[in-house]
C-alpha cells in the first residue's frame, strides 16, 4: 500500500457516519426560549444555531466556574432532541466496514461529535462502531461544541499527533470551522446537515459523496492534496 497521506482520522457522527436526523427548527426554537430564561439574548441567540448558542452561553458560564449550572438547565433539552434523532438514525452505506478496515490497518480513528454521551453511546453500539473509535469525544466531555476546536484538540493531545497529520471528516460548516481552527485538513461528505452550496465561502479540502472514497484519499500519499479540489470525486 502507498504511504498514507494522513496518519489518523477523526470523524463527526451525525450526518457523517449516520444520516442527519436532528430536527433543527423545533429544537432551536425551544433552545432559544431556554437560553432566554437564563437571561441570554441578542444576535448570538436570535441568529445562532444549537451549537453557537451553547458556546455563547459557555463564554459567560465557563470563566466563572459555573458550567454545571448551564449543563443542568440545558443538557436535558439537548439530550431529548438527541434521543428523538436516535429513533431514526441509520448508518451511511459501508460505515461500519470502513471503520473496521481503517482500524485493522493500523490507522488511528476517533470521533468528535456535538451529540451527547447518552444517545451517542447507544448509537455507536447499535451500529457496531464502538470498537473502532478511540477516543470518542461527545459534547458532554467539552465546554465548547464545534465550531470550536476543543474536542479536536483533546484527541490530538491524546494521540500526540500534529494537526496536519490528521484528517477530519464531517458534513457541516461547523466541522470545517472546527478543523480549520485546529489547523487540520477536512473532508466533507455530501448529504448531511449542510447543503453543498453552504461551503462556497469556506470550502473544505475535499468534498466526497461516499464514505468509501476516503480509502483512496488516504492512500494517495503525502502529495495527495496537490491538485485536489473541492468537488472532485475519487474514481
Task: Locate the domains of the chain by residue range.
Answer: 8-19+91-218, 24-86
pLDDT of residue 89: 98
pLDDT band with cut points at 50, 70 and 90 for residue 2: low
The arithmetic mean of pLDDT across residues 115-128, rounded, is: 97
Q: Which of 75, 46, 97, 86 is CA-nearest to residue 210? A: 97
Whether the pLDDT of residue 226 is over 80: the answer is no
The dihedral sign for the CA sequence 173, 19, 122, 167: negative
pLDDT of residue 11: 99
Options 3.40.50.1000, 3.40.50.300, 1.10.520.10, 1.10.1740.110; CATH of 8-19+91-218: 3.40.50.1000
The arithmetic mean of pLDDT across residues 80-99, rounded, is: 98
Q: Which residues contact 222 (CB under 8 A, 6 or more apart)?
A: 3, 5
Whether the pLDDT of residue 64 is over 60: the answer is yes
Pairwise CA distance, residues 183 & 132, whole Å: 24
pLDDT band with cut points at 50, 70 and 90 for residue 59: very high
pLDDT of residue 44: 85
pTM of the model: 0.91
Amino acid at each position: 500500500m502507498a504511504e498514507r497521506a494522513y496518519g489518523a482520522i477523526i470523524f463527526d457522527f451525525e450526518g457523517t457516519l449516520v444520516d442527519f436526523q436532528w430536527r433543527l427548527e423545533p429544537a432551536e426554537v425551544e433552545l432559544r426560549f431556554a437560553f432566554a430564561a437564563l437571561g441570554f439574548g441578542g444576535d448570538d441567540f436570535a441568529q445562532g444555531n444549537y451549537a453557537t448558542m451553547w458556546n455563547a452561553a459557555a463564554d459567560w458560564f465557563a470563566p466563572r466556574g459555573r458550567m454545571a449550572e448551564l449543563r443542568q438547565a440545558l443538557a436535558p433539552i439537548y439530550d431529548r432532541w438527541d434521543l428523538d434523532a436516535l429513533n431514526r438514525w441509520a448508518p451511511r452505506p459501508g460505515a461500519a466496514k470502513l471503520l473496521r478496515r481503517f482500524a485493522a490497518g493500523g490507522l488511528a480513528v476517533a470521533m468528535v461529535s456535538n451529540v451527547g454521551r447518552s444517545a451517542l453511546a447507544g448509537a455507536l453500539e447499535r451500529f457496531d462502531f464502538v470498537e473502532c473509535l478511540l477516543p470518542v469525544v461527545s459534547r458532554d466531555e467539552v465546554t465548547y461544541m464545534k465550531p470550536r476546536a476543543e474536542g479536536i484538540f483533546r484527541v490530538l493531545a491524546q494521540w500526540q499527533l500534529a494537526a496536519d497529520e490528521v484528517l477530519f471528516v464531517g458534513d457541516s460548516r461547523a466541522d470545517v470551522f472546527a478543523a480549520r481552527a485546529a489547523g487540520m485538513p477536512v473532508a466533507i461528505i455530501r448529504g448531511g446537515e449542510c447543503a453543498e452550496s453552504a461551503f462556497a465561502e469556506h470550502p473544505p479540502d475535499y468534498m466526497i459523496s461516499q464514505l468509501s472514497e476516503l480509502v483512496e484519499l488516504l492512500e494517495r500519499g503525502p502529495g495527495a492534496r496537490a491538485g485536489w479540489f473541492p468537488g472532485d470525486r475519487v474514481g
